[in-house]
Amino acid sequence: MRVLIRADASPAIGSGHVARCLSLAQVLRQGGAEVVFACRALPGHSLERIAEQGFRALALPAEYAGEEPGASIEAPLPWQADIAALGACLVAEARFDWIVVDHYGLDHAWQTAARQWARQIAAIDDLNNRRHAVDILFDQNFTAGDPEYANRCLQPCRELFGPHYALIRDEFRREPVPISLQPRRVLVNFGGLDAAGETWKAMRALADFSELEVDFIAGTANPMLASIQAMAAGQPRWRVQTFVSDFAALMARADLFIGAGGGTSWERAVLGLPTLCIAVADNQRANAERLAAAGVHVYLGSSDEVDVDSLRQAIGFLLGNVSLRRSLAEQSRRLVDGLGARRFAVALAGASLALRRATVEDSPLLFDGRNAESVRRASLSPEPIGWEAHQAWLAASLLNPGRLLLIAEADDGPVGVLRYDLAGSRAEVSLYLFQDRMGLGWGRALLARGEETVRGHWPQVTVIDAQVLPDNPASLELFRHGGYVQSVCRFERVLKDPLHD
């Protein structure tokens, strides 16, 4: 699978768009995909950062004719110029399976034009200021499902909405931060650019807490960097870093985080790190407020609403309230499990999932997969199966013209098993995923690809049905989303009307 990611970074845009796309790109690469970035060479761009992480990055022009200088982050780009520049970079490139675009300035017009280079388009969006023409619309924020955010897509598309899909790098999936009775360490980070100057504000608010060890992460583009470094020089327990190679480890050692309401919200949540949040952009406010209402962090307001004194008081209050810090940690980890990037990657890879007929050589794979405890727990026959019984079952299945036994494979190996049993014009489906594929959305891809196979193999089939245990909510949800209609705990999907065949 080949994926092109279109995202930019600059002092006005910030570095969060590229950062979250890198989280997705890393997971895609682990799954065998080739990922290429296309970014403008704006001041404060991330082209070197992308290259350092082993991805090819195509440099688009920093200036386009007709573009308004100093335009806001949400201002539309001259999309025709961007498409032309991208086309010049892609002259020698093969087509992509997906283009993923994460940009507030590009909408349905750009997406429609970009289909000349890809079969499918996905958009990452957390605003409601433009319309999309995509196959997947992704929004990890709480606000994604709000009524005012509805109908953002001009065509039927799959929606990946909410913190369940939060784009988090693997290094953040570790043991939760321990909640200490006597907190000693604070971490301050407002992004790589911090144009609002919140790091400097936090530094002045923390000046009275001489007993604390404080790590300040302020990038080289921070407008107050010289002042920050000068003030820290007089504080032996303070450290200022312009670059951190293992941010997750630094967060895991902290007792309190002071930061913005962007992408690090999800990284803090998966670690259960108590946080004081200040929104540094208008597009962060709604989600920061919703996360506060869910008990995930303490939201103090936007940068222009929070002064040094109010931040100082909030720091003292939260450091002294261990019950509140424990509650914030518990609610955070309940909301975010750190697998969102994998779920997004599966949604992309599922469209090209390969199905093949099982063979005798698959016997060990099928045996281990069917006997996994998680699979047996959801099975109508939960007892373990012996090797000899399994061998006999497989031999009979492969010879049975009324049974279709399929193995689903992604670029990085087998994903799961589908079995269809024919009964006249109906076929009953059962499926399971291999142990490390569960909880990521592969089941939906298996059902869709399996349906295509059944249509071609048994054209007489008009209905597919399934039996599901009533205490198996994951399977119940899977079949509902797959277009199956429930009757008690049995599902069926009508493929065609036999009266109009």
**Can 17 be counted among the known catalytic residues?**
yes
Which residues fall in the annotated binding site? Answer: 169, 267
Alpha-carbon span 65 to 44, nearest angstrom? 20
Name the active-site residue from 17, 45, 132, 390: 17
CA torsion sign, 339 to 340 to 341 to 343?
Answer: positive
And the tokens for 242? Answer: 């312009």
99 contacts 122 by C-beta, under 8 angstroms: yes
Alpha-carbon span 230 to 240, nearest angstrom? 10
Per-residue b or e along 247-277, where b marks 16 or more CB atoms closer than 10 Å to that residue's CB: bbebbbebbbbbbbbbbbbbbbbbbbbbbbb
* Closest to 479 in 3D by CA, of 492, 496, 497: 492
Q: Cβ of 69: how many Cβ atoms within 10 Å?
A: 5
35 contacts 7 by C-beta, under 8 angstroms: no
Alpha-carbon span 158 to 135, nearest angstrom? 6
> Tokens 């019984």 correspond to what residue?
389
* Closest to 229 in 3D by CA, of 190, 199, 260, 185: 199
Which residues have C-beta within 8 Å of that of residue 400, sequence separation ≥ 6?
A: none
Which residues fall in the annotated binding site for substrate? Answer: 169, 267
Alpha-carbon span 367 to 390, nearest angstrom? 7
Where in the sequence numbering do the catalytic residues fall? 17
